[in-house]
Amino acid sequence: MQRIAITKQAAEVLRQLKEKYGELIFHQSGGCCDGSAPMLLEKDGMYLDESDMLLGVVENIPFYMNQDQFEYWKHTHLTIDVTEGRGASFSLEIPLGLRFFIKSRLLTSEEEIFFNKSKQ
Amino acid sequence: MSYSKPEFKSSYGNFINGKFVAPLGGEYFENRSPVDNSIIAKYPRSQKEDVELALDAANAAKESWGNTSAAERAALLNKVADIIEANLEEFAMVETCDNGKPIRETLNADVPLSVDHWRYFAACIRAEEGTATELDANTLSMNIKEPLGVVGQIIPWNFPLLMLSWKLPPALATGNCVVLKPAEQTPASATLLMEKIANVFPPGVVNVVHGFGPEAGKPLASSSRVDKVAFTGETTTGQLIMQYASKNLNPVTMELGGKSPNIFFNSVMDADDEFLDKAIEGAVLFAFNQGEVCTCPSRLLVQEDIYDAFMERVVARTKAIVQDNPYDVNTQVGAQASNDQFEKIQSYFKIGKEEGAKVLCGGEANKLNGEFANGFYIKPTILEGHNKMRVFQEEIFGPVVCVTKFKDEAEAIEIANDTLYGLGAGVWTRDAHQLYQIPRAIKAGRVWVNCYHTYPAHAPFGGYKKSGFGRENHVMMMDYYRQNKNMLISYDKNKLGFF
């Protein structure tokens, strides 16, 4: 069971970018403009520490979120999808004319017990 | 006058060292209008090399520009203001085309506010001076403000010309040279501006480089040849820019968005007068600029005693919003800026509903007719729920407001502050005590009291908490583009006595 999943189309784009850039991470951004969406970044490009929660791994790519933000997200399940778009951040899919975004749903009661009731 | 999509050339260049140049790698990207998804033009897909060229030009010009008199610099800023004003309708149409916002807003808000910002900073720089203090009979301490040198600026797509006009004037007024990267969603108005003002500044003083964040934005933000970076956007990118700045030991300013609460107390409904009418408009201002505002009043907090009556009026006013052809002067809400924003907003409708939010109106895309059928339109939406829902905590960046009720002052403040952000807030009341004490308790950099969505120059604007730091639109912004030189001068002929 994972807190995150990825659609086939998004996974395909991810594989293309992994080939080009090497090791990658996702970091969920808050804030305006390109925010409220995941950023795909080179692994060593972003300083990560204990304030970044690891939600899960998809296509060998870890997905992080700041812990303050996670407090408001932890009752939901996230699926990474991709669409045509024009983002403006440093997320690596932007030059392809694509943008990752998150589709969410509530955790099932089984998932809720597994993730939130057991020790992190 | 009737308005329509303006004519564009097939492609444009970067503005570097006083002229338009093609990207060195020869690559371009296509820019589309969200009004109808039609093509606008191609713009440079700049890479690191193009950014370096702009930095060469800016660094070469900085000594001379930094030593230009305040009077000369002010005159040039005023010239830019006059040029924008003289071409108001042209700028308004280009902005509507590129961003999707209604012409009613670009004509009456975006462009006039932009003009005023250039004039404001032209005025500020003329009225300034440093300080001199006699510390003792023999010692004089003098403070001179010096420019930093070269500034990198990365601006967003929600108010393209206005965001440029918030950023460039204070940096230029203080004697810095700039390399600015417009958002790739909206490169058109910055380009039009540079066409119109190409001969105003000496070459190298203002440079505009187009491109994608990872390819052009990142090299600019991380270059050791900029002395400061200013950024408006989202939190993760803000963090990255701060990281790069840490390697260069550079100062930065950031504006990263918000989830601003708009709070309505019982006394608002004490009378059915013009002020109540204003308050209802205040609540509906979540739809201004299609909700694509960092300070969108996206959380509506209504005191429980007036909740039903107030919301009846707010819902009715929202349902009456005219969403149509953005080039029509009667249109109040236009298109979202891009397809990915359009998709993101709809994904929030889905999770909001799943979390139990009730849709009071809207809650879906709006399919317009004819030529606008391919545009990115979202119906103004009101979701009713509680403050722990994700839709209440995250910037949806659409014409969406989430409403909840509160019992008393303490609960209003608690809910208002229960957010990671602290950019804007609105407080509406007729009570003299609440007018001061409620805003004072809210952790936000801008609290509108009995109003909302006004951005006059000389009212400092910026965030608390995860909304960033630094204050724009005010003379205090100029100090973020400067360093203080302290000259400590001794008139004492005698030595210290140490050696």
Is the Cβ of A48 closer than 8 Å to some Cβ of chain B?
Answer: no
Among B213, B355, B394, beta carbon nearest to A36: B394
Q: Average pLDDT of A94-99?
A: 94
Q: Average pLDDT of B329-345?
A: 95
Do A33 and B257 lie within an 8 Å CB cutoff?
A: yes
B50-83, pLDDT tens digit by residue? Answer: 999 999 999 999 999 999 999 999 999 999 999 9
Query: DSSP letter at B379?
Result: -
CB contacts, 8 Å: A90 with chain B? 213-214, 217-218, 237, 240
Asked whether the predicted pLDDT for residue B399 surpasses 90, the reply is: yes
Which residues in chain A (7-26) have CB-CB distances under 8 A to chain B?
none
- The predicted pLDDT at position B135 comes to 98
- The predicted pLDDT at position A102 comes to 96
- The predicted pLDDT at position A87 comes to 85
- The predicted pLDDT at position B70 comes to 97
Q: Average pLDDT of B8-16?
A: 98
Asked whether the predicted pLDDT for residue B380 surpasses 70, the reply is: yes
Q: Are B23 and B50 in contact (CB under 8 A)?
A: yes
Asked whether the predicted pLDDT for residue A119 surpasses 80, the reply is: no
Among B240, B293, B344, beta carbon nearest to A101: B344
Asked whether the predicted pLDDT for residue A120 surpasses 60, the reply is: no
- The predicted pLDDT at position A118 comes to 61
- What ipTM did this prediction achieve? 0.94
Better-scored residue on pLDDT, B364 or A34: B364
Backbone phi and psi for residue B150, each to the nearest 5 degrees, phi listed first: -120, 130
A23-58, pLDDT tens digit by residue? Answer: 999 999 988 888 899 999 999 999 999 999 999 999
Mean pLDDT for chain B overall: 97
Is the Cβ of A101 closer than 8 Å to some Cβ of chain B?
Answer: yes
Residue (of B275, B289, B310, B226) closest to B451 by Cα position: B275
AA identity, residue B128 = E
Choice among B105, B215, B255, B472 that is catalytic: B255
A82-93, pLDDT tens digit by residue? Answer: 999 988 889 999
B255 flagged as catalytic: yes
Is the Cβ of A40 closer than 8 Å to some Cβ of chain B?
Answer: no
Q: Where are the beta strands (DSSP E) in B347-443?
A: 358-361, 381-384, 400-406, 421-422, 424-428
CA distance A37 to A85: 13
Distance from CA of A89 to the nearest CA of B (A): 5
Q: Average pLDDT of B336-356?
A: 96
Do B340 and A103 lie within an 8 Å CB cutoff?
A: no
- The predicted pLDDT at position A35 comes to 86
Distance from CA of B32 to the nearest CA of A (A): 9
Better-scored residue on pLDDT, B444 or A32: B444
Q: Beta B177-181 vs B206-208: how paired, if at all? A: parallel
> Which residue of chain B comes nearest to A27, CA vs CA?
B236
> Which residue of chain B comes nearest to A92, CA vs CA?
B214
B266-315, pLDDT tens digit by residue? Answer: 999 999 999 999 999 999 999 999 999 999 999 999 999 999 999 999 99
- The predicted pLDDT at position B2 comes to 84
Confidence of residue B238 (pLDDT cuts 50, 70, 90): very high
Confidence of residue B396 (pLDDT cuts 50, 70, 90): very high
Q: Average pLDDT of B147-166?
A: 98
B413-438, pLDDT tens digit by residue? Answer: 999 999 999 999 999 999 999 999 99
Q: Are B145 and B174 in contact (CB under 8 A)?
A: yes
CB contacts, 8 Å: B214 with chain A? 90-92, 94-95
